[in-house]
Amino acid sequence: MVKICCIGAGYVGGPTMAVIALKCPSIEVVVVDISVPRITAWNSDTLPIYEPGLYDIVKECRGRNLFFSTDVEKHVREADIVFVSVNTPTKTRGLGAGKAADLTYWESAARMIADVSKSDKIVVEKSTVPVKTAEAIEKILTHNSKGINFQILSNPEFLAEGTAIEDLFKPDRVLIGGRETPGGQKAIQALKDVYSQWVPEERILTTNLWSAELSKLAANAFLAQRISSVNAMSALCEATGANVSQVAYAVGKDSRIGPKFLNSSVGFGGSCFQKDILNLVYICECNGLPEVAEYWKQVIKINDYQKNRFVNRVVASMFNTVSGKKVAILGFAFKKDTGDTRETPAIDVCKGLLGDKANLSIYDPQVNEDQIQRDLSMKKFDWDHPLHLQPMSPTTVKQVSVVWDAYTATKDAHAVCILTEWDEFKSLDYKKIYDSMQKPAFIFDGRNVVEADKLREIGFIVYSIGKPLDAWLKDMPAIA
């Protein structure tokens, strides 16, 4: 029986290993983590992450060939294949701070693997890492190997949160990078044998180590660039009276461009896009390519611009001040169908409104008060450090209340900001909401989820990203 151990029971490690266990009954999969609460949650009925379809799979496999444990060393020692799926946040201090990936967790995982191993192993890089990390890890492993043979592979994960299970069941591609030596090729084949139990052969691509590492950074950069491109267009649409949805539809009909990932929004978030682009920028700078670095930086600049633009629009429309006004925030997660708030645009938008002294009442179906308070009181770049390394009791932000339904959030509010595209926001009773709000009642739709014309009939002043502006909004131009 092949034994797999995955270090890191997070958004990537957890779902990926659950699907491997489901699809490969003859493989024993153990997911290990240093965080005791995380592992306890994986072993309970309340999983530590919300992901549609995940619980059913975990329930089916847990105790059969899927296990969650804090005994990291034991399971690493016993494994044939070790996946490393630990966090790689952006460095907060020192060389490359604010840009380079912090590989502390990776390095300590690699040293531990070298320390405890007694048999040959394939070590698989699963978390996104800078190009040539595999080479660095290989050095740590071989310099400490005591004669054990380690083969390192890069197998970046392309799943998106909220659709992780679908993505894992039917991946567009599985990418495996390895050394071009006989040992490297044998390791690639061993990992291929795992995936080929449910992924068609032609979708499993093999490359050298660096191509695999760079492909992951490039894919995320290209995806983020599409959103910044359509968001840049949204500003121009508002200025000229065009409709960004119509423009995006027409553009996407070109088969060379394609229709997906062209929804204008208040900005992209999530643990990957910004981090990976910053990483790419840093790698370009280190390799003496400032023009290329500058090109990719622009994707992040437009994303920041879009969040600022939204805040400016809210404040400008409401007589240039939100001071002391209740503003309802609907949605805080970085996208629908996840409780994840890493790099969510809601953080910057809320901070912007708080800076103008608004009182926020926040509702998200999957994010709790502790998380929201932590996000709003944390410094930038500290968000994706594990909880146990963060200060225990960050100060609470007094102007913020977190509630458990949309109607409580919007009662007596002057304005509603929709920041996540949760389906339930489409079918709220907006007449009831309007009646309970201060007048004039504003809706700022950062995700284009509501039917603006219907809400205008009710009496709302509605702003939809990239859509022609109401007469009211035209009269109150946002200062950039």
Return residues touching ligand UDX (CB under 6 A): 157-161, 220, 223, 227, 261-263, 265, 268-270, 272-273, 334-335
Q: Binding segment for ligand ADP among 17-25, 83-91, 213-221, 321-329 (CB under 6 A)? A: 83-91
Select from 4, 5, 13, 213 the one that contacts ligand ADP (CB under 6 A): 13
- Contact (CB, 8 A) for 48 and 38: yes
Q: Compute the least distance from the CB of residue 9 to ligand ADP, in Å.
A: 5
Select from 6, 22, 82, 85 the one that contacts ligand ADP (CB under 6 A): 85
Q: Is 474 left (phi over 0), alpha (psi -120 to 50) or beta?
A: alpha
From residue 301, alpha-carbon distances to 56, 108, 331, 341, 400 in Å are 40, 33, 23, 20, 27
Instruction: Check binding of 345 to ligand ADP (CB under 6 A).
Output: no
272 is catalytic: yes
Select from 252, 386, 394, 440 the one that contacts ligand ADP (CB under 6 A): 386
Q: Which of the listed partners (ligand UDX, ligand ADP, none) does 13 bind, with a CB threshold of 5 to 8 Å by partner kind? A: ligand ADP
Q: Which of the listed partners (ligand UDX, ligand ADP, none) does 263 bind, with a CB threshold of 5 to 8 Å by partner kind? A: ligand UDX
Select from 22, 50, 87, 262 the one that contacts ligand ADP (CB under 6 A): 87
Q: Which is nearer to ligand UDX, 99 or 307 (CB)?
A: 307
Q: Which of the listed partners (ligand ADP, ligand UDX, none) does 7 bind, with a CB threshold of 5 to 8 Å by partner kind? A: ligand ADP
- Contact (CB, 8 A) for 138 and 291: no
What CA dihedral angle connects 37, 43, 47 and 52, to 10 degrees? 150
Q: Which of the listed partners (ligand ADP, ligand UDX, none) does 331 bind, with a CB threshold of 5 to 8 Å by partner kind? A: none
- Contact (CB, 8 A) for 9 and 31: yes
Q: Which is nearer to ligand ADP, 264 or 274 (CB)?
A: 274
The sign of the CA dihedral 432, 436, 439, 440 is negative
Q: Which is nearer to ligand UDX, 90 or 220 (CB)?
A: 220
Could you give the strand order of the β-sheet that contains 204-208, starting from the edge strand earlier in sequence? 66-69, 27-32, 2-7, 81-84, 121-125, 150-154, 174-178, 204-208
Give how many residues touch ligand ADP by CB under 6 A: 22
Instruction: Check binding of 103 to ligand ADP (CB under 6 A).
Output: no
Q: Compute the least distance from the CB of residue 13 to ligand UDX, in Å.
A: 13
Single out the residue of 444, 452, 457 nearest to residue 416, CA to CA.
444
Contact flags string 17-56 toward ligand ADP, x per CB under 6 A:
---------------xxxx--x------------------
Separation CA 400–CA 195 (nearest Å): 46
Return the bridge partners of 151, or none.
Answer: 122
Separation CA 450–CA 197 (nearest Å): 43
Separation CA 437–CA 417 (nearest Å): 13
| CA end-to-end distance (rounded Å), the chain | 61
Q: Which is nearer to ligand UDX, 65 or 155 (CB)?
A: 155
Q: Compute the least distance from the CB of residue 48 to ligand ADP, in Å.
A: 8
Number of H helices, E strands in the chain: 18, 14
Q: Compute the least distance from the CB of residue 279 to ligand UDX, in Å.
A: 13
Q: Compute the least distance from the CB of residue 335 to ligand UDX, in Å.
A: 4
Q: Residues 223 to 262: which contact ligand ADP by CB under 6 A?
A: none
- Contact (CB, 8 A) for 65 and 25: yes
Place of tokens 């649409």: 237
Cis bond before residue 440 (omega within 30° of 0) = yes
What residue type is assigned to position 370 of the chain? D
- Contact (CB, 8 A) for 178 and 188: yes
Q: Binding segment for ligand ADP among 1-9, 145-153, 224-232, 372-380 (CB under 6 A)? A: 1-9
Q: Which is nearer to ligand UDX, 239 or 257 (CB)?
A: 257
Separation CA 7–CA 85 (nearest Å): 6
Instruction: Check binding of 12 to ligand ADP (CB under 6 A).
Output: yes
Which of the residues 24, 272, 284, 417 is marked catalytic?
272
Q: Compute the least distance from the CB of residue 264 to ligand UDX, in Å.
A: 7
Give the active site residues: 272
Contacts with ligand ADP, residue ranges (CB under 6 A): 7-13, 32-35, 38, 72, 85-87, 105, 108-109, 127, 271, 386
